Structure 1
Amino acid sequence: MADLQDDLHTGTEAGGLDELPVPLAAEAVAPEPYAPVSDPDDEPLTRARAVLAAHPVADGCNGLPRALRSLSWYDLELGESGVATDVPRLREGRVGALLWSLHVPESGDGDGDGDGAVGATLEQLDLVKTVVRAHPEGLRLAYDAGQAIDARNCGRVAVLPGPAGAAALGGRLGILRSLHALGLRVLTLSGVTWAGEAGLTRFGEEVVREMNRLGVVADLSGASAETVRRTFAVSKAPALCTRSAARALRPHPANLPDGLLAELGAAGGLCMVPLTAEQTGPTVRDVADHLDHVRTVAGPHGVGLSGTYDTGTAHPLELGDPSCYPRLVAELLRRGWDEADVALLTWGNFQRVLRAASFTARAAQTRREPSTATIADLDG
């Protein structure tokens, strides 16, 4: 019955965002004690909440699955003080979808053929499904753009599994297909010999082609410049950088130089700026500076958001958990961002990448059989 009620609920109409309610001048009211006039800066926050009601946040990286492993009991729908992410805070922040990171500590084998990362990733995929099943009123699994929209329309937060580390493949394309069948939708191309400082090897290129065939999106955060550029050349689908900001503003190794930002935008990719003090700075204004810069260099279709909550990183002031997204959007509105660009930033750009991945997969499956290539065949 709750699902039916959620289905009947209608959201805010985009055309009515500027028409905020005002009191009727002719209405007789009793005199009230004197109060100072509201700070005009409150108005962008009101507008921000209205925009996000129609165009919620698609969060590019959230580390909740690993964070929950340290808790003996939790209730994400009621609220959970042991983590930064729970359903009440996601709703307050107008989060409509988020990627749940499946990254595991590096095993140190480097060649991506150890079984430890494979098993750990499988365990995290199982945990993601268990957590979502335990919170059906707040969370719903989604594997493509349409399912993410369906979840949002039913009043749930869409959870997409990924990104996982490339080591999770164990150097075998059959494992990639198995992980996709279990729900994996984003894979980070770094930390393995076939996607290293020298770029993609022949096997690495075959992995990208198989990802295209399946609909698994490439995540290039932390990848070498050579890997990034070769992925742009090989992939028929756009890529994500799930936690990268502008290196011109902050010289963090995961941040992108302007040249790569421009190439990412030209390739239809998406730089999802993280809300971390280390990568973007200690204040909400610093984060907005990065968003301004990425939008200028990569274009308005090339910028997104990545909360990186529950990943063990410190966050800027006023952005301590997912409920704070309206504060960031209010800062952008103060800077002159129009609502159309905010809508692309929060929801539209991520949806475009998911749709492109699905379209590419459908086209590739008509031309290409599952690959049986191995590292030994191509790189040996």
Structure 2
Amino acid sequence: MADLQDDLHTTPEVGGLDALPPLTEPLPPEAYAPVCDTDAAPLDRARALLAAHPVADGYSGLPWALRHLPWYDLQLGESAVDTDVPRLREGHVGALFCSLHLPEGLAADRAVAATLEQLDLVRTVIAAHPDGLRLARTAGQVIDARNCGRAAVLLGPATAAALDDSLGILRVLHTLGLRVLTLTGTSWASEAGLTRFGEEVVREMNRLGVLADLSGASGQTAHRVIAASKAPVLCTRSAARALRPHPANLPDGLLAELGAAKGLCMVPLTAEQTGPTVRDVADHLDHVREVAGPECVGLSGTYDAGTAHPQELADASCYPHLIAELLRRGWSETDLALLTWGNVQRVLRVADFTARAAQERREQSAARIAELDG
């Protein structure tokens, strides 16, 4: 019970957003008090809004980028990467998901060890920068980090290959802090869809509170995971395929399905997936909001992931420019608060409660892939 109370801890500084019950229903407009002077310039209004409703960034490639640096200082600033503490503060980033993804071509028999090394690196970086970063596992810990002036760091997404087809390894990774797993690139989550063992993986993820990431997953796998999961699912790096035919972008039918299931599409700030300008990114956000609903859209900086970024969005400090563009387009402060912070908080909170409910109903799974898919 003490853990549950910790997760529900809130303060008035977050404008009442996180004091709401952990329901999957859309949050009421009164939860988001206006924070901007509508007579101010859009960039000033954007900064004022982000001060109250900071960005929860759905994907950072910082861990792998830091592996190649002999020395770095994220507290004072680090020019060799796109993300450091000063730029997180300038961009009003309150939380970020640190990717544990591995580079293509890494031998499959190294996936588990390499993921553990990535996870260890992130924890080491956080420990070395206590004035700017704080590890978070739950929605409540994300809020606490924000209220203490730190950026909350959540671990994941990790690649599904890191499980080595073992639910025991999934549980170990969760114990070490894993919060998101990308369901692609395995025999049980493939182009053909989700197998019986894959469905058991999803059930165990729900029981643990590990969120499913469907960016890059096949349509068959995505449809089945959305149907099977009791917790909301994420697409940590997906924009609108109707606007840009990138394989990781989502068709309108899947966007609508994701919205109906209260999932979250986190639009990446990359030139390859969204286009070369901040206006292109805003077009994708407009489209996802229109098709899936304002409760289904989030942001994914995708900084330090080896991709080019649109003009005015070169690093983690640039989020006010994107929010200013959306203000010019007439986005309401309610929808912007959902986009930057509220939708991620809802997904995390619902996943936490789903996990607690599942743990009361079922024991940990002992299923093996040979038994279900052999």
TM-score computed with the length of structure 1 as normaliser: 0.89
| Aligned match of 2:270 | 276
CA-to-partner distance for each residue in 1:227-281, whole Å, 9 max, x for gaps? 0000011110010000000000000000000000000000110000000000000
Q: How does 1:48-197 map to 2 (within 5 A)?
A: 48-107=46-105, 114-197=108-191
Deviation for aligned residue 1:121 = 0.3
Q: What amino acid does structure 2 have at the position aligned with 1:18?
A: C
**In the alignment, residue 35 of structure 2 is paired with which amino acid?**
L
SS at match of 1:323: coil
| 1:17-32 map, 5 Å | 17-19=35-37
Q: Which residue of 2 aligns with 1:261?
A: 255
CA shift for structure 1 position 115: 3.5
Give me the CA root mean square deviation: 1.6
Paired with 1:151 and 1:108, the residues of 2 have a C-alpha distance of 34
Tell me by how many angstroms 1:107 deviates: 5.0
- Structure 1 stretches lacking a partner, 5+ long: 1-8, 21-39
Task: Tell me, yes or no, if structure 1 residue 351 matches structure 2 residue 345.
Answer: yes
Partner of 2:43: 45
Q: Is the 8 A contact 2:14 2:53 kept in 1?
A: no
Q: Matched residues, percent identical?
A: 76
- In structure 2, how many angstroms separate the alpha carbons of the residues matched to 1:138 and 1:352? 24
Note the C-alpha offset of 1:105.
2.3
Contact 1:107 1:116 in 2 (8 A): no
Q: Does 1:205 align with 2:195?
A: no
1:144 to partner: Cα distance:
1.0
**Partner in structure 2 of residue 364 of structure 1:** 358
Aligned amino acid, residue 317 of structure 1:
Q
Q: Secondary structure at the match of 2:323?
A: helix
Once residues 375 and 10 of structure 1 are traced to their aligned partners in structure 2, the CA distance between those partners, rounded to angstroms, is 47
Equivalent of 1:240 in 234, 237, 241: 234
Report what 1:340 is aligned to: 334
Equivalence for 2:310: 316
Larger radius of gyration: 1
Deviation (angstroms), 1:16: 6.0
AA matched with 1:122: L
Shift of 1:12: 8.2
| Contact in 1 for aligned 2:264/2:295 (Cα 8 Å) | yes
Q: Deviations over 1:273-294 (max 9, x none)?
A: 0000000000000000000000
Which residue does the alignment assign to 1:214?
208
Distance in 1, matches of 2:80 and 2:104, equals 25
Give the 3-state SS of the residue equivalent to 1:366 in structure 2: helix
Count of aligned residue pairs for this structure pair: 348
SS in 2 for 1:158: strand
Partner of 2:373: 379
- Provide the rounded CA distance (Å) in 1 between the counterparts of 2:353 and 2:35: 32
Distance 2:198 2:50 in 1: 38
From 221, 228, 231, give the equivalent of 1:227: 221
Could you tell me which runs of 5 or more consecutive residues in structure 2 were left unpaired when the two chains were aligned: 1-10, 16-31
| Contact 1:288–1:328 (Cα < 8 Å) also in 2 | yes
Pair 1:307-2:301 in alignment: yes
- Following TM superposition, by how much is the alpha carbon of 1:106 offset from its aligned partner in structure 2, in angstroms? 4.0
Which amino acid counterpart does residue 365 of structure 1 have in structure 2?
Q
